[in-house]
Structure 1
Amino acid sequence: MKIIECPRDAMQGREEFIDTAIKAAYINQLLEVGFDTVDFGSFVNPKAMPQMRDTAELLELLDLFHSKSKLLAIVANKRGAEDALHFEEIDYLGFPLSISETFQQRNTNKSIAEALEVVEDIQNLCEIKGKTVVTYLSMAFGNPYGEAFSVDIVAEFVEKLDALGIKIIALSDTIGVAEPKLIEKLFETNIQAYPEIEFGAHFHSRPEGIAEKIHAGLKGGCRRFDGAIKGFGGCPMAKDELVGNVATEVMIEVLEKEGHHLNLNMEEFGEAMKLAKFVFG
């Protein structure tokens, strides 16, 4: 079972800039917990994502010596990937590929066809550098634009990513609309069809819907889940402050009740929970 903690996703939409030293203190605390991966920052245009403009500086302040966690950074184009690959400390580059043409344009200012070309470029760069691409399939459970969506359409995208050699795909419920039956079916279908690909879940959810989404992912075979402490972050497009990220503390409770041993240091996690109150208010 892999738990990916996502402070980058929790922070990126906040209007007030969080001081780099505060970010570093928070992420260093997360690195003590024992998460498989920490999604810590992004190499994107600072005009598009001003909160993340200090990612390179932040990286220099992270204490990785005693941590077993790997680092993931989000990129939106080839240039961002090249910038991220200057840092040996980064293990994964994440790229948001959308099922929705509208959202792809809004999120990365590219068409889906252009975004797929970027995925191929990033994959080629990562193979040279010994890094791994994590492709997030945004709007993987539906979209608010009335655009076509089906399990078969998702399968077509997975097939294209498989052809490019992508080994980790995170099915993303960008606006919190995924129903448990659909979650279970999407994971079960794709995991059976592509056993060599690691499928993860990046859910956004109202608090009362978290447990059933995690249960559905488990039933479908998912063993990789993203979260953010206290559910901070989420998609601003949702226009609902309760549709944030899956709260990591709730996810941990659900998974442990199901008998999964997560090998997390819960004392350090408790300290991270306290620090989150200071960071996010």
Structure 2
Amino acid sequence: MSRKVLITGGTGMIGTRLAEMLIDGGYEVALLSRTPGSGRFRSFRWDPTAGIIDEAAVPYADFIVNLAGSSVSDGKWTQERKREILSSRLAGTQLVARELAKQNHHVQAFISASAIGIYGDRDDQVVTEETPPAADDFLAEVCQQWEAAAQGVATHDHIRTAIFRIGIVLSPEGGALVPLARTVKMMAGAPLGSGKQYMSWIHLDDLCRLFMQALEQPQWQGTYNAVAPNPVTNQEFTETLAEVLHRPLVLPKVPEFGLKLVMGEMSEIVLASQRVSAEKTLQQGFRFEFPQLRGALESFYSEE
């Protein structure tokens, strides 16, 4: 049975790990890339902003995993940067949807990324997939448009579509954990802002296993939170990280105004409180290998 997966955004942190795990699982993998042929996987050329895609790309695939989008945590959110964050997600998703509307392919499922940023800052309220998106919030607006573009694949092309609202992805290779661990290792670790804001996180390998289960099992369709079942406050996160790294926490809290000064609006990523439920994902039968933060962190830093 042919099991070919096409990944958009496959050179990023999530896509790279997912490709490795898919290969280990007996799948064939190809990436959509602006510069094909530069990595270890087969790749097809595309340029989403120009609306260009190799016409052999979508017909290659049995499954498509759509992760393309410019990182929200690189650089301050200038107006231009914000446009890029939005357009890089929309253009890629719309381009794949356009190709899927043609009848010359055999794609069985479309898995698309979104983010828990859709909920905005919710204090300690537990949010589920039914919680309405935040108003007047840049990331929430991006996620809504991104999900609407992905949903178009389900509605117009009648392809099984699962959208995952991804939490803070933990990996020593990139993402939020790297700067946090660096400051703790330098003995400068401190909770950020009030420290009371909730962080809904997921181990990178659990996220990739979740995508793989969604490819294989037809009951996965609709929207799911991709977060571990035990969100923690920022203070708990920082304390657990310090314990796992065997470092003391020496500083008081990093004040909110200081973060805003350094990061601008991007400080929303670490200051917004998102206590996101994993219940729907658990009810689908997914089992987390790393349901607790300490175990997830120890999987990366147990040798430290």
Give the TM-score taking structure 1 as reference length: 0.38
Q: Which has the larger radius of gyration?
A: 2
